[in-house]
Amino acid sequence: MAGSATSERDELLAFELALDEQVCDEVHRESWGRLFLTPSAPLIWDANWVGIEEVGMSVDQVVAITDEALGGEGFGHRTVCLLDQGDGRRIGAEVEREATRWPRWEVERTRYMVWRGTEVEPPPVRSQLPTTGVGKCERTRVGAREVRLAEIEGLRRALIAEEAVPNGTIERQATVDQLFEIDRRYGGAGGDRWFTAPAGGEPLSCCRLLSDGRIGQVEDVGTRADARERGYAKAIVLATVAAAKADGDTPIFLTAEAADWPQLMYAKLGFETVGDLTILRRRP
């Protein structure tokens, strides 16, 4: 991949793209990059998107490619990731600077953050002792336990509805269903390992560990709105890092929206920004 992106950031992006290729229904390689399509989940923008790898194109060229690629498949939304870091920054800045030329297009920036912290608590371990219910695990000092997606389906669906699908969304339940199916597919591609807090009782917060056997990613961190500011997010993130470290994963990373507050929490926990990704969106 040409351009100014750091080799570390490129490695993390390549990890994500490899998972995406396993999760999406179709991946088409084009002269300008890759087209990811998932007709089985048509409501999910991040399962139907354009990845621009060619550098040096104008905004108009990127928009035209995206219109043809996604519009030609019948999608009303537009999602395009500028996979080269430097080129993405250039195009994103131009769209923001001359917003009237490309109405309704929005610029998002995702930060890649790598774990640089010190030692963490021992990872949660699934209890080998007899239990009275499915998925019960030993309590750990970090207050988290490891589970499978099926064990926290109710919580995960609630978080999807709360955080990813705004009220008033057309086909809201279908969108939740499709996002949950994408969750399941990522589990098949990168491991069905979730960490939830508190360690005992009703699960209120969760995140997942994705891995290819070498790199580990902390993903989908979420806490129910009525349970925030109790330290649960910190507990599950550190538990996930500990599990990845125990498996020998390196690097261990997560992604965070550059314009949102969780990046500040991740930085305090020991994650360092090593690069970014620019995404352009146009809502239907």
Clarify whether residues 151 and 251 are in a common domain: yes
Clarify whether residues 101 and 192 are in a common domain: no
Clarify whether residues 41 and 155 are in a common domain: no
Q: Is residue 126 part of a domain?
A: no
Clarify whether residues 151 and 202 are in a common domain: yes
Residue 249: give its domain's CATH number: 3.40.630.30
Does 191 score more than 90 pLDDT? yes
Residue 168: its pLDDT value, please? 76
Of 78-92, 124-138, 179-193, the least confident? 124-138
State whether residue 229 is helix, strand or coil: coil
The reply to whether the predicted model has a pTM over 0.85 is yes
β-pairing verdict for 216-223 and 252-257: parallel
pLDDT interval class at 166 (50, 70, 90): confident
**DSSP letter string, 197-222:** ESSSSS--EEEEEEESSS-EEEEEEE
Q: What is the mean pLDDT of residues 62-74?
A: 98
**Residue 15 domain boundaries:** 7-113
Number of domains in the chain: 2
Does 119 score more than 80 pLDDT? no
Does 143 score more than 90 pLDDT? no
Comparing CA positions, the residue from 225, 135, 149, 140 lying closest to residue 185 is 149
Clarify whether residues 250 and 172 are in a common domain: yes
pLDDT interval class at 122 (50, 70, 90): low
Residue 159 CB neighbours (<10 A): 22
Helical (H) or strand (E) element with 176 = helix 172-190
**Percentage helix, strand, coil for the chain under 3-state DSSP, each rounded to 5:** 40, 25, 35
Cis peptide before 103 (omega within 30 of 0): no
Of 126-140, 155-169, 192-206, 215-229, the least confident? 126-140
Clarify whether residues 154 and 97 are in a common domain: no
Clarify whether residues 184 and 261 are in a common domain: yes
User: Distance between CA 136 and CA 42 in Å, rounded?
Assistant: 36
Residue 75: its pLDDT value, please? 97
Clarify whether residues 42 and 99 are in a common domain: yes
Q: Is residue 1 part of a domain?
A: no
Does 172 score more than 80 pLDDT? yes
